[in-house]
Structure 1
Amino acid sequence: MYISHKNIDAPAPDTIVWKYLDLSKFLDLLLCRQLFMSRSDKFEDQYEGTFSEPTFEELKKISEHKPGFLDAYKNHRKNIVVSSWHINEYESFAMWQIFTKNNEGLAIQSTVNRLQEALVPESRFEQHIGEVKYIDYKKEHIPFDNDFFPFLFKRKSFQYEREVRIISDLRKYNKNINDGIKVDIDVNAMIEALYIHPKSENWYKNLVIQLMQQLGFNFRIEKSDLESEILI
């Protein structure tokens, strides 16, 4: 299900998205056929799932007549889990730098529609997909008529992330979440192509290809544009 609102852009189904990760996390995804979704209050950004100043002032007025109203929103964060994807028509040098180490790692190329198809309907948890909007938290308003909206806005400092999120609300499951949860996915539906780190050595590239063959996956493996030879 796509999350849409007059203040939030619903991502187009053919939007190209990427996830950059190390080999161990990628193999865990393949072997378990599950996608890890992180607990929202575990992200590095302390503002994650919070409200902008204009919205907070509005909520404070409401809470004057509803004791516990603000506390409920604060507690809500630990029950929201998120899988983050990067919107880009092309691979991103910055994302390689941020999410991989030692010139090793992989990038999954997918689309919003593929993510939707990959989320197994029989999964215990209901998932929603929305595009993050980047705003000025001192001036702009965040709507609060949907529990997911605080998690679809971030400060302008994070604009480089260009993020699409898969989000689940686990409050009704009374589940004790540590760092996050894993949800069932159709791996073949999710992955359109696989890119190996552009600065990785040949042995690493060969290892990835060999692992895919041994595990029975035939993903399209693309050469990174960032390792193309110069023409002069």
Structure 2
Amino acid sequence: MYLNNPNLKLPEDSTIVWKYLDLSKFLDLLMSQKLFMSRSDKFEDQYEGTFSEPTFEEIKKLSINNPEFLNFYKTRREKVTISSWHINEYESFAMWQIFTQNSEGLAIQSTIGRLQKALHPEANLNQYIGEVNYIDYKKEYIPFDDMFFPFLFKRKSFQYEREVRIISDVADDTIKINDGLKINVDINELIEKIYIHPKSENWYKNLVIQLVKQLGFDFTIEKSDLESDILI
């Protein structure tokens, strides 16, 4: 479900999104039919799930007589997991470079509507889909009247990511999360099309096609458009 708040941009269902990953992670997704969600405090960005300076100053004032209020927000990052997707009508050369380490990566193409339909409601999880807002953490305010808001804001230096997120909050405190957790998804709904790394060889594309078929799936698999033949 979407966060319904006028301060947040909500993408249309038809918005195209991408996830760039290596073959091993892709096969794990197909075989387990579960989507891996990274624990929010394990991201490379140390500001992940934190507040901007104006918001933090307000929270500190509210915590003067209630120190547990601030501690709650600090520990909450350990209970929130995230799956990141890239909004773009087309492939992104930069995303290939950042998220695939060699020529054997691939990209899942989907849409916001497909992500929404692919999620299976789970008793222990509160799940949302939201587009990330990029702000100046020294000047701009992050609302905290909803628990998910801190995870839908990032610093402006990350604008190139154009990120939309699936966010899962572990409501059941007995669940232990190490680096993250896996959630059940409808694979056929999640994946609309697969693109093979632009620098991969033909044998690699054929291998991916064969593996996908053996696992019982029938996705459209294409070579990246970034390495198409030059026409003169």
TM-score range, shorter chain: over 0.9
Alignment root-mean-square deviation, CA: 1.1
Is the contact between residue 123 and residue 184 of structure 1 (CA under 8 Å) also seen in structure 2?
no
The alignment partner of 1:12 has SS state of coil
Measured after TM superposition, the shift of residue 122 of structure 1 is 4.9
Q: Percent sequence identity over matched residues?
A: 72
1:97-131 Cα offsets, whole Å, 9 max, x none, are 01111211110000011011111235642311000
Residue of structure 1 equivalent to 2:224: 224
The alignment partner of 1:146 has SS state of coil
1:17-166 matches, within 5 Å, as 17-122=17-122, 124-166=124-166
**C-alpha distance in 2 between matches for 1:205 and 1:124:** 38
Measured after TM superposition, the shift of residue 151 of structure 1 is 0.2
Is 1:211 equivalent to 2:227 in the alignment?
no
Residue of structure 1 equivalent to 2:182: 182
1:115-150 Cα offsets, whole Å, 9 max, x none, are 111112356423110000000000000000000000
Moved over 2 A (4+): 121-126, 171-174
Measured after TM superposition, the shift of residue 68 of structure 1 is 1.9
Amino acid corresponding to residue 113 of structure 1 in structure 2: G
Measured after TM superposition, the shift of residue 6 of structure 1 is 1.9
Amino acid corresponding to residue 3 of structure 1 in structure 2: L
**C-alpha distance in 1 between matches for 2:123 and 2:196:** 30
Residue of structure 1 equivalent to 2:192: 192
Amino acid corresponding to residue 31 of structure 2 in structure 1: L
**C-alpha distance in 2 between matches for 1:4 and 1:21:** 30
The alignment partner of 1:160 has SS state of helix
The alignment partner of 2:165 has SS state of strand
**C-alpha distance in 2 between matches for 1:31 and 1:123:** 23
Is the contact between residue 20 and residue 100 of structure 1 (CA under 8 Å) also seen in structure 2?
yes
Amino acid corresponding to residue 40 of structure 1 in structure 2: S
**C-alpha distance in 2 between matches for 1:60 and 1:126:** 27
Amino acid corresponding to residue 66 of structure 2 in structure 1: K
Amino acid corresponding to residue 50 of structure 1 in structure 2: T
Amino acid corresponding to residue 149 of structure 1 in structure 2: F
Is the contact between residue 104 and residue 204 of structure 1 (CA under 8 Å) also seen in structure 2?
yes
Is the contact between residue 125 and residue 172 of structure 2 (CA under 8 Å) also seen in structure 1?
no
Amino acid corresponding to residue 210 of structure 1 in structure 2: Q
The alignment partner of 1:127 has SS state of strand
Gaps of 5+ in 2: none
**C-alpha distance in 2 between matches for 1:63 and 1:173:** 23
The alignment partner of 1:144 has SS state of coil
TM-score (norm 1): 0.97
TM-score (norm 2): 0.97
Amino acid corresponding to residue 54 of structure 1 in structure 2: P
Is the contact between residue 87 and residue 164 of structure 1 (CA under 8 Å) also seen in structure 2?
yes
